[in-house]
Each structure stands twice: as C-alpha cells, then as structure tokens.
Structure 1
Amino acid sequence: MMTYRFAAQVTLIEQNDGAVILKQIPLCVLRVNQACARLLKAVRDGGPVANIPENSVLFDQLVSRGFLEQVQTVPEAPQRYPFVSVIIPVRDRENELGRCLGSLSALDYPTERLEVIVVDDGSRDNSAGYAKKWGAKVVTSGAEGAGPAAARNCGAAAAKGEILAFIDSDCTASKEWLRQLVPFFDDSTLAAVGGKVAGISQASALDRYEDVMSSLCLGEHPRLAGKGADTFYLPSCNLLVKKDAFLDLNGFAPTMQVGEDVDLCWRMRDNGRRIAYMPGGTVFHQHRNQLGAFMSRRFFYGTSEEVLQRLHPNRKKQMVVPPLLAGLLLVFLSIPWTGFAGVLLAGIMIVMESRGLKNKTKKMGVNLGLFQLMRARLRTLVSLWYYLSFHLVRYYLIMMIVIAILQPLFIPVLLLMLGCAVMVDFRVKKVQLPFLSFLFFYILEQISYGLGVFRGCVKGMNFRSYVVELRRHMAEPV
C-alpha cells in the first residue's frame, strides 16, 4: 500500500561500517549503521523490504528528515469489502445536505456494505426530512446545537460499520472516495486514513485562495505518522477511522466546538496508533468565499490553539535556531544599516563556517566543495528567515504593525518579514491568483487567525500558544 523511495538529490554512500545518506537541498548528511544501510540499499535498488513496525518507524523518521519520500500505490479492490458507516452531522443545512447525500448515492462502493447516518443537531429547517428522502438513517444529537463533535459521536454509537467515514454536510464526495481509501486499512497498523479536501468552486479569487491555503488542504504527497511531537492531523470532513480505535478513545471530545479532529488524531498517535494521509479519495468542501465568513472562520480556528495546547502540552511549538546561523542572519539583516562593513563581515562568517563544515563532512567520508557548502548555508539562512518570519507574522502581525506605526525604523523589518513569508508561500503553494490578490487575502488570514489565538488565550487565561521552544540542533545537520 505504501512504498518508499529516495527523495530528489539524495544519495547513499556505502561505507565499511554502514553508510552515509547525503541530501543536497537542503544540504544534510546522516550516518547510519549497517542494518539501516542494508534496508536503504534495498529501497534504492527497488528490492523487497519487510513490512514490520521497526522498519516503518525508521522509514517514517527518514521521511520526516527529507531523505525518503512515501509513495502511494493504488490498492487493488479488496476481496471482502468492509462495512462502512458514513456519518454526517448537520444543523440547518438542508440544501447543502441534499447535495452531499446526492454525491454519496453515486459512490462506487457496494451498497449492501454501506450505510449513511445523518445526525440532526437540533435543526430548525427540514434537514432531517431531506435525509430520510435520500434513504439515510437519521439520529438526533439529543440537543439543539450540541456541536459537530458530539453529533459525530452519536452517529458512531448508532453505526453498524467496522469503519466510520466522516464527512461534513457542506461537502460532496468524489465517486471513488471510499473505494480509494478503504483498502488502505489492509495495513493493520493504521487506525485512520484521510483523503484530499478540494474546493467545490473555483469561481472567485477567494475560492482559489482557499482551495490551496485552507488548513483542510494537506497537499499532494502522502504522509504517515505515529508517535511524535509534530502537529500532523487529518481533517474530520474527510476522515475514515476504524470503529474499534474510535471507541477505545471515546471518540471526539464532545465539548470541543473546534479542533476536535486535531485532538482525536493526536490522541490516536499518542496511544501508539498510526494515521495516514492519501491524496486520493477526494472530498469537495464549500469553502467560505465571502470575506466576512472567511475571516470569521480563520478567527474560529485560531481560538482552538489554547485548548489544544492545554490538552496536549507535549506538542510545543519548536523552532531550530542554531546560534551561529542566527548570528549570521542578524549580520545579513543589518546590512541596510551597516553597509559594506556588514557585507564583509557576513562574507567572512560564511567562509569560516563553511570551512568548518567541510572538515566535519570530510571526517564522515563525504568530500564536499567549499562553494557548495557556502550555497547550502545561504539556502539554510533563507529557510530560517522564512520560518521565523512566518511564525512572527502568524502570531504577532498586529503587534508588529502597531510597532511600525509608532517607530518607523521598524517598517523595513516588518516589510522584510511579511515579504519573505508571502513570497515563499505564493511560490510554493502555486495559487492561481495575481500576487496582490494573494497578498490581500494572506494578510487578512494572518490578522484573523492571530486575533483568534489571542481571544482563546485570554478566555482560557493560558498563553502557552505563544511559547516557542528553541532548539540548537537538528539530527546531524550540516
């Protein structure tokens, strides 16, 4: 179901006592022992690799460091189709629900192995009636506006399926949704699988922005994750979960109004279960394409950070800031004020650090050129500046704007940070928008999300969302 391959510009250098993995961009060298070297050689040569938990953990670690890539292979149709219960929470969305149920009626999945459950969360319209017309089983949440988490739990309690497939009422499913995702559960280590979330419409500029920049969009590359302190999760609008794993964890936290999918996925992973994202099995989501609704939603998402930080204190925000690189970055940023002296000092620091790295890599059996190492350091500086800029823009943009108004000397710093974050995201995400339109929506998003984070922290009297754990080193970086 999932195979691995070497990432672009990664090579394996075999040695007597093991091997060294060399990644060119960003430049990174990692020494591995003989057992690991044998596995990596099999991956490189396309040979068989035993599908055992120990190998999966190793490969997942190498994927997280950028040495390997996961490759999704389209599974064959299973000999036995597991029974699937599709669960849809709804409140006052009869039109959207009808569209969702219409898409489910066209699923390419055996109807005798499928049930659709609509959980009415106190609707005042005819949502329940629409559901019955489409042949869905209708249950109630037992309240008026209990929230999607509590409603989904009610649906799970009434479900007969061994797999629970969650989708939202403002979504439609692709014909292949279940057929493409369900077979991945042949991997007994997986507790949950999520597919791609795309936008229903591409009509407006905001539709196109949301299609790529929404937090529901996880990209085009598959990903597997087990235990770990990272923040990877699967959105609940396209989430398939083994029922026994769901019930073992008591389902979604019923009192959470936002972030309940993040919390569930993190609890799964903390309990030793693995989750996977596969960019197939697409669900189409009706994104908020009016400015007010767009900003309100981002604000709402931001309020979840305080609760999630309180429930999962082990998942701290982390940022690797090596002291030498931080000092070099400061020298580069000071060049507009220091002029030629700053350029000269930066050049000397780059050369000296690169020579030190050249000696270090040579001892590991890798001979790299000085100019190659200098280019690698400059790329690393740009990456470091982006991550610092993105974090500051995400959480402190309003504060930085106020500082710039009160102290105009800070304006160049603000423009450098915002410009770096915007330019990198615009280029990487490949949004089909003019740059100025992207910039406009980007700034509104960061302001809205930042205000939501602040509101959540004030409400919970807990400001750990703003705390970043600075680390000096990554694993064997150069």
Structure 2
Amino acid sequence: MMTYRFPSQVELIEQTDGAILLKTIPLSVLRVNRACATLLKAMRDGGPVANVAQNTALFDQLAARGFLEQVQTVPESPQKYPFVSVIIPVRDREKELGRCLESLSALHYPLERLEVIVVDDGSKDNSAWYAKKWGAKVISSGANGAGPAAARNRGAAVANGEILAFIDSDCTASKEWFQQLVPLFDDATLAAVGGKVAGISKESDLDLYEDVMSSLCMGAHPRLAGKGADTFYLPSCNLLVKKDAFLDLNGFAPTMQVGEDVDLCWRLRDKGWRIAYMPAGAVFHKHRNQLWSFMSRRFFYGTSEEKLQRLHPKRKKQMVVPPLLAGLLFVFLTIPWTGGLGVLIAGIMAVMDSQLLKEKTQKMGVNLRLFQLLRARLRTMVSLLYSLSFHLVRYYSILMIVLGILQPLFIPVLLLMLGCAAMVDFSVKKVQLPFISFFFFYILEQLSYGLGVFWGCVKGMNFRSYVVVLRRHIDG
C-alpha cells in the first residue's frame, strides 16, 4: 500500500487560516487551508492521520510537488493469493526463453495459483519445445511476426488469472517478483504495477550504462500516478495488470511495434485508474551490449514519439521557463563574449530576481535569508540549464553539431549543454563508470534517439512531437 511521510526538509508554518508549506531545496512555497494543515501537522508530529483514504488525491498532489514523500510498503505476504497468468511473447529466442521459464519455476508464490502462457509469434527455432518442456501453455499469435503487443493480447484472451503478468522472453524474474508486487493490488484504485528492471550482465561498460540509463529502468524511488498530463508509464517487461482493466481497454494497441506499454499505461490513467512503480520485484533484462544494437534500439524507441503524440495529443512536452531567470541564464552563458559588461548585467538581473522572490514570499508570510534566496535561485537556474540542455541535446543534437561546424563560436555553447546534461544524469543516476565512458555512450544515445524521433515524424508527416509548451511560472 502507499503511505505518506512528512519530509524533514519541509517546514510547516502555521497561520490563523491554515499554514504555509516551505521547502528550501529547491525553493517552493504553498499555502494550504486549515483542514489540510491539521492533517499535515498530525503527520509531521507522528500522530494518527484521519481519513487517509479519503485524502489520497490531496496527498498525491502534495507528493507530486515535493511537500510529502510517498512510501510504498509491501506486506510480508499477501492477504490472499490471486491467480496470476504470466504471459510471454516469443520469437526465435529458445535459449533466452529457457532461462526465463527456469526463473519462473523458482518464484516464491504458490504454483497452484500460477499459469504460464507462451505466445509463439512464428518462431523457426525450438522456442515452443522449450516452453512445453517447462510446463507452459503454448499458443500461436496467429501470425508470423505479429509483434509483441498482438502476441500479449492473444495470451490475455485465454488467460485464467485475475492478474496478468507480462515479462519478455529475454528476461529472468527474481524469486520475489510476485511476492513483492502482487500485494500492492490490495489497493483497489490500482490497475497496474511495475517493478525494477535491472541488467542481467554487468561485465562491459555498456552493460553498466544500460543498467541505469535504459528507458526500462524507472529509478530507485517508488512512484504512483493517476490522471494527469505527465508521461509516467511502466515498461511491459515487468508489468502486472488487472485483467478486467486490461480487457476493458482491449489490451495493447496490436499494431504498435514500439511504445505500446506507454500507450496502455496512459489509457489506463485516462480511464481513472492509478498505476504504481515499486523499486522491488525485480526482473533482469538482457540489454543490448553491442554498440550498433544499442543505437538501433534507441533509434527504434525514438520513432514511437510521433504515434504516441498523435494518440495522446494532450500529453505535450512541458518546460517551465521563468522569463527573468531565463534571461539571466542567457546573459550568464554569453559572458565569454561580453566580458565585464555581461557580468554587470547578470549581477543586476540576479539582484532584481532575488528581490522579486523576496517580495513574493513575504506576502505569504515567509521571511527568508539572503543566503537561502541565492541558493534557491542558483539551484533553479542549474535546473533550468539542465532542462534546456537535455531537450536540445535529445532532439536537436544533429542540428547543434552542424551549427558548431558552420560557426566555431557556437562550439563552447554546444559543449556546455552536452556537458551539463551528461554531468547531471551521471551524478543523479550514480553510474558506476568513468565519466568519459559514460559521456561517449550518452552522446550516442541522444544522437540515435533524436534521429529516431525525426524519422518517425517524417514517416507520419506529423512534427508535433517537437512542440514544447512553455510555462512562465515555477514553484518558488
């Protein structure tokens, strides 16, 4: 179940008509009414919190803005053991499938409450034989290469389980896969749950990069989401879904060869369901550890953006760009060319920005020291620099390289953006690699993905994937 914790870095400032929530890193200020203040005060003080279930939506919103922490807790064993159908699409992966089925036979879950369904998508090897050897039910996808989405739907159509568990044939499951994830369905609002996806191999530098930078890796922190315009999803290689919810939406989009898991999760959320990620219940994936296959896969992922944007037009990319702070960042970046004048202008703009922020917080009844203001704005500016850098590197890296060749003065800006995006991701993801190796793979990933996005847009004659919604305001 999902519980909530009052973070140590958040201050609750009580007022007569409610309270102010203050978070200094990054700086965020929020006014709440008296009823909400009472709930939060009880949570902060460690006392009982009334009406937790009725206030789940409120707590989720506060957690999304960083004023509460979501804590996913899992009982040692579920109250009941629902019947689970494991569905594995396969095509010509007999050795990988054998390892996958062997891992499923060792699950810490009552075997009588499990069934394994292997959907053969036109294999020419012995995949079907291996599946039968391990006692799985084998069915045909009905086509020769229908794709994993269509194959999974065929498996779901004959499944007997209350819960459908999807895993890929090149994955192996941890013994605790179901033990740690199935109990989350005690929350009736959840339609889907996903667990950690780690790499099987950690031998090469590329293995180590993929282990934390793969789009299948959802991070070290639990996350829960319902309706909303964000892009949170759960990858299909470690995905548990309520069968009724899955069938109600007619399952995966069968014609999608990539991005079908994103589409399903977004449709579930649009329908009013919630989905949850738990950094447990691990599945181990055989990542691409050859450069060409690594780049090809990133290119393939990039091609999905056009179709996903067409199917879900409300989910546009968003970026918060406060005008004054963006101007300050621009002036700061041009100092190598503007010299002392740039330093003077940047100093004036920094003072103006800090003064406006001070006035804003004082109106809300919060008095901050100059050090707190400067630290908050510096952190916000670095965050803005990362967001802008990552977006430009992700989608316009080829154009940026061409501009650098045509105009050498642009090269320092290009290197700064590449370095900023890479350094932040390297630090946050805690990659166990030398930075130079990480930087090499990072550049290849951005180039490959960006080319995939462009190619998908060209094929679909739709370039709305490049549209970014700019917002002026940022918390704090």
Amino acid at match of 2:204: S
The farther-off stretch of 204-213 and 364-373 is: 364-373
Distance 1:79 1:26, change over 3 A: closer
Match of residue 308 from structure 2: 308
Task: Give yes or no for contact 2:325–2:353 (8 Å, CA) kept in 1.
Answer: no
Q: Deviation at 1:78?
A: 2.2
Structure 1 residue 353: Cα displacement: 1.8
Contact 1:85 1:159 in 2 (8 A): yes
Aligned to 1:233: 233
In the alignment of these two chains, the number of paired residues is 476
1:368 aligns with 2:368: yes
Aligned partners of 2:274 and 2:25: how far apart in 1? 29
Partner of 2:462: 462
C-alpha contact 1:295 1:445 (8 A) present in aligned 2: yes
- The SS at the match of 2:92 is coil
**Residue of structure 2 equivalent to 1:205:** 205
Structure 1 unaligned spans of 5+: none
Q: Deviations over 1:375-406 (max 9, x none)?
A: 21111111101000000000000110011001
Could you say if the C-alpha distance between residues 156 and 48 of structure 1 is closer, same or farther in structure 2, counting changes exceeding 3 Å?
farther
Letter in 2 for 1:72: Q
Per-residue deviation at 1:46? 2.6
Q: Determine the structure 1 residue equivalent to 2:253.
A: 253
Equivalent position of 1:287 in the other structure = 287
**Paired residues for 1:20-39 under 5 Å:** 20-39=20-39
CA distance in 2, matches of 1:222, 1:89: 27
Equivalents in 1 of 2:146, 2:353: separation in Å? 58
2 CA distance for matches of 1:45 and 1:3?
15
Counterpart of 1:265 in structure 2 is 265
Which stretch has the larger CA shift, 56-65 or 193-202? 56-65
In the alignment, residue 32 of structure 1 is paired with which amino acid? V
Secondary structure in 2 matching 1:278: strand
Secondary structure in 2 matching 1:228: coil
Alignment check: 8 A CA contact 1:207 1:289 kept: yes
Q: Normalised by the size of structure 2, how large is the TM-score?
A: 0.98
Map of 2:409 onto structure 1 = 409
SS at match of 2:426: helix
Read off the aligned partner of 1:403 and give its amino acid letter: L
Is the 1:355–1:370 contact (alpha carbons within 8 Å) kept by the matching residues of 2? no
Q: In the alignment, what sits opposite 1:95?
A: 95
Aligned residue type for 2:365: G
In 1: Cα distance, 2:83 partner to 2:59 partner: 31
* Distance in 1 separating the partners of 2:368 and 2:164: 52
In structure 1, what is the equivalent of residue 422 of structure 2?
422
Corresponding residue for 1:296? Answer: 296
What are the Cα deviations for residues 321-365 of structure 1, in whole angstroms up to 9, with x where unaligned?
A: 011111111111111111112112211211222122212212211
**One-letter code aligned to 2:174:** S
The 2-side partners of 1:235 and 1:38 are apart by 38
User: Who is 1:381 aligned against?
Assistant: 381
The Cα shift of 1:50 comes to: 4.8
**AA at the equivalent of 1:206:** L
Gapped regions of structure 2 (runs ≥ 5): none
CA distance in 1: counterparts of 2:54 and 2:252, whole angstroms: 29
RMSD: 1.1
Residues 1:317 and 1:54: Cα distance change in structure 2 (over 3 Å): farther
The alpha carbon displacement at 1:52 in A equals: 5.6
Aligned to 2:189: 189
Displacement of 1:57 = 1.4
Shift of 1:234: 0.2
| Rounded Cα–Cα distance in structure 2 between residues aligned with 1:258 and 1:39 | 43
State the TM-score, normalizing by the size of structure 1. 0.98
Contact 1:351/1:374 (CA < 8 Å) preserved in 2? no
